[in-house]
Amino acid sequence: MNKEKVLVIDFGGQYNQLVARRVRECNVYCEIYSYKTPLEKIKEMNPKGIILTGGPSSCYEEGAATCSPDLFNLGVPVLGLCYGAQLMSHVLGGKVERAANREYGKTEIDVDTASELFKNVPAHTTCWMSHFDYISKLAPGFKSVAHTSSTPVAAMENVERNLYGIQFHPEVLHTPEGSKMLYNFVRNICGCAGDWRMDTFVEDSIKRIREKVGDGKVLLALSGGVDSSVAAGLLSRAIGKQLTCVFVDHGLLRKNEGDEVEAVFGKGGQFDLNFIRVNAQERYYAKLAGVTEPERKRKIIGEEFIRVFEEEAKKIGAVDFLAQGTIYPDVVESGLGGESAVIKSHHNVGGLPDFVDFKEIIEPLRDLFKDEVRKAGLQLGIPERLVFRQPFPGPGLGIRIIGDITAEKVKMVQEADAIYREEVAKAAEEWKKANLSDRFGESKEGLSVDEIFSREREFNPDWMPDQYFAALTNVRSVGVMGDERTYDYAVALRAVRTVDFMTAEAANLPFEVLQTVMSRIINEVRGINRVFYDLTSKPPGTIEME
Ligand code: XMP
């Protein structure tokens, strides 16, 4: 397993996870490590290739992030990207200087198609630049293989030593041929076979889980979200009834969500595991009654979750393993992998391990990016509607009801949200029918997981939000319905386009869709007489309302 590995050495750039994802999309396994990783450790990992990422420093400055010159003598192909390329030049005897002007944004570029790096790339194309410094003199043995109007060395190579550098960012979508360049590096130059695939991942994981768990018992908190669902599917395929999943329905789930999760994982579902659904709605509503402060609400929901889970765990008794749906970005972001992003420390449902009586943690998705988790889910036969689910916050509708929470309000927001999701999905299907007439309606039978996946992602209109939901405001206003005065709640519709959920823009949903949603909500959901569309971007807003 993972014999073929490319290392992404992180110098603190903002796109570093993206570099790793793009490499994985070439079916090559890779991992992110800090530039501080000792050379000995890098050697031990026996990589097929090394990619040096971008970063915020200037390589000629004192104290700048750097690497050992011996990194380039391992006999392993190295590709430097942006800062990585400059650093390669600097360390190997070239010159890097500050340019008069920063080169930023989409840039026309001429590439030397004789270079292995640019195989199958048009000689004239576009790339995404973001740099102040530039390579003013090549290191000995290197030649320039791409240039723009202001950058003489937009890419360079030393074929004898298998060293390559690219000044721009091939990993971002604004470099349309970028994926091809990374493919050329990892598959052709490094010679990786491209055997990192989700079917083999699933088979290998099942084997490894069986070896690790033996005849032990495993406990998993299943939220119904993508990560824990895929973890449950994988574990159940590996160890069946040795797995117990506890699913806490806190009464703040989307419409029918609890039943949907139960249908897949419960009795008679497609997985053979012990499934415990705890219907804790009443408990939650009682605890939350009259509470309006957002942080307080979040806290109560989190604490109550732990309490319910603890009670169930006690009934089960000691378990050998506690399973968690941790995924690779959680690992990187908590500072365990790369350099760039100690953005947030990772908490899986608020510190579960403290009280559950178990010996070891098991994290079967620890090496996967979100996209790969979804693919593994498809591979395991988890229904598409669960696999392609939007992110849903742990506190659920609790933070989508502004002010105090009541069962009636939960019902209102559930109904409004279900209508909204139904109409957006319908409009997207209609758009596909009209715009993708050549492909639409083709059977998915016989398609690989990769093909189903790219279809799901790419065959969507521009306005398709990455996350969208209804939230209940605490505004009540006067309306008129069938000659009667009403004094009811207003619902807010949220729809955002985002790549990383750290920043977001309001999605440009077609006005007709919004109107249909408005009219259906007002007609069908009792207690709501007004609909707002939230235009706020993040920042300054957040995606959720509370
Ligand atoms: P915000 O509101 O911070 O949301 O812009 C960013 C993304 O995170 C999700 N979110 C949460 N997810 N527990 C979670 O698991 C939470 O407490 C939580 N709060 C927000 C939100 O849905 C969005 O995708």
pLDDT at 473: 98
Whether the Cβ atoms of residue 459 and residue 432 lie closer than 8 Å to each other: yes
Overall pTM > 0.95: no
- Residue 205: name the closest of 197, 193, 217 by CA: 197
**CA dist 405 → 255, 301, 398 (Å):** 16, 11, 7
pLDDT at 344: 33
- Is 131 one of the catalytic residues? no
Question: What CATH number has the domain bearing residue 99?
Answer: 3.40.50.880
- For a mutational test of ligand 1's pocket, the pick from 468, 501, 537, 545, i.e. the residue with the most ligand atoms closer than 8 A to its C-beta, is 501
Q: Which residue would you say has higher pLDDT here, 347 or 468?
A: 468
Task: Say whether both 162 and 206 belong to one domain.
Answer: no
Q: Identify the band that residue 94 occupies on the pLDDT scale cut at 50, 70 and 90.
A: very high
Strand partners, 165: 80, 156
Task: Say whether both 168 and 221 belong to one domain.
Answer: no
DSSP 29-41: -EEEEETTS-HHH
Q: Identify the band that residue 448 occupies on the pLDDT scale cut at 50, 70 and 90.
A: confident
pLDDT at 345: 36
Does residue 539 have a cis bond before it (omega within 30 degrees)? Answer: yes
Q: C-alpha dihedral over 265, 267, 273, 279, to 10 degrees?
A: 70
- Residue 425: name the closest of 527, 509, 532, 324 by CA: 509
- Residue 78: name the closest of 64, 65, 92 by CA: 92
Dist. CA 110–CA 146, nearest whole Å: 6
CA angle 243, 247, 252 (to 5 degrees): 165
Q: Indicate which residue of 59, 67, 103, 169 is catalytic.
A: 169
Q: Identify the band that residue 400 occupies on the pLDDT scale cut at 50, 70 and 90.
A: very high
Q: Identify the band that residue 224 occupies on the pLDDT scale cut at 50, 70 and 90.
A: confident
Determine whether 282 is exposed, middle or buried from the number of CB atoms within 10 Å of its CB (0-12, 13-18, 19+): exposed
Residue 393 lies in a domain: no
Beta-sheet pairing, 218-222 with 321-323 = parallel
381-420: burial string, b at 16+ Cβ within 10 Å, e else: ebeeebbebeebbbbbbbbbbbbebeeebbebbbbbbbbb
Tell whether ligand 1 has an atom less than 6 A from the beta carbon of residue 393: yes
- Residue 185: name the closest of 158, 162, 169, 160 by CA: 162
pLDDT tens per residue, range 506-542: 999 999 999 999 999 999 999 999 999 999 999 899 9
Dist. CA 206–CA 1, nearest whole Å: 12
Q: Could you list the residue range(s) of the whole structural domain that residue 256 is in?
A: 198-387
> Which two three-digit tokens encode residue 154?
């937009």
Dist. CA 45–CA 39, nearest whole Å: 10
User: Average pLDDT for residues 296-302, to the nearest whole number?
Assistant: 92
Dist. CA 221–CA 159, nearest whole Å: 51
- Is 171 one of the catalytic residues? yes
pLDDT tens per residue, range 104-113: 889 999 999 9
Percentage, residues of the chain above pLDDT 70? 93
Residue 52 lies in a domain: yes
Atom of ligand 1 nearest to the CA of 541: 5
pLDDT at 313: 85
pLDDT surpasses 70 at 2: no
Tell whether ligand 1 has an atom less than 6 A from the beta carbon of residue 544: yes
Number of separate domains in the chain: 3
Q: Identify the band that residue 152 occupies on the pLDDT scale cut at 50, 70 and 90.
A: very high
In this structure, the residue with its CA closest to atom 24 of ligand 1 is 391
Task: Say whether both 245 and 358 belong to one domain.
Answer: yes
Task: Say whether both 120 and 260 belong to one domain.
Answer: no
Atom of ligand 1 nearest to the CA of 225: 15
Q: Identify the band that residue 437 occupies on the pLDDT scale cut at 50, 70 and 90.
A: low
pLDDT at 499: 74
pLDDT surpasses 60 at 100: yes
pLDDT at 335: 59
Residue 394 lies in a domain: no
Instruction: Out of 147, 165, 189, pick the residue that ends a domain.
Output: 189
Dist. CA 529–CA 545, nearest whole Å: 20
Residue 498 lies in a domain: yes
Identify the H or E element spanning 130: strand 124-137
- For a mutational test of ligand 1's pocket, the pick from 295, 544, 545, i.e. the residue with the most ligand atoms closer than 8 A to its C-beta, is 544
Identify the H or E element spanning 245: strand 243-249
Residue 12 lies in a domain: yes
DSSP 476-506: EEEEEETTEEEEEEEEEEEEEE-SSSSSBEE
Q: Which residue would you say has higher pLDDT here, 452 or 60?
A: 60
- Is 169 one of the catalytic residues? yes
pLDDT at 336: 54
In this structure, the residue with its CA closest to atom 3 of ligand 1 is 542
- Residue 373: name the closest of 391, 350, 360 by CA: 391
pLDDT tens per residue, range 166-203: 999 999 888 999 999 999 999 999 999 999 999 999 99
Tell whether ligand 1 has an atom less than 6 A from the beta carbon of residue 538: yes
Q: Identify the band that residue 346 occupies on the pLDDT scale cut at 50, 70 and 90.
A: very low
Instruction: Out of 189, 214, 237, pick the residue that ends a domain.
Output: 189
Task: Say whether both 347 and 228 belong to one domain.
Answer: yes
The strands making up 360-362's β-sheet, listed across from edge to edge, are 274-279, 243-249, 218-222, 321-323, 360-362
Tell whether ligand 1 has an atom less than 6 A from the beta carbon of residue 541: no
Given CA atoms 180, 183, 184, 188 in this order, what sign does their dihedral have? Answer: negative
Task: Say whether both 179 and 304 belong to one domain.
Answer: no
Mean pLDDT for the chain overall:
90
Task: Say whether both 263 and 352 belong to one domain.
Answer: yes
DSSP 502-520: SSBEE----HHHHHHHHHH
pLDDT at 34: 92
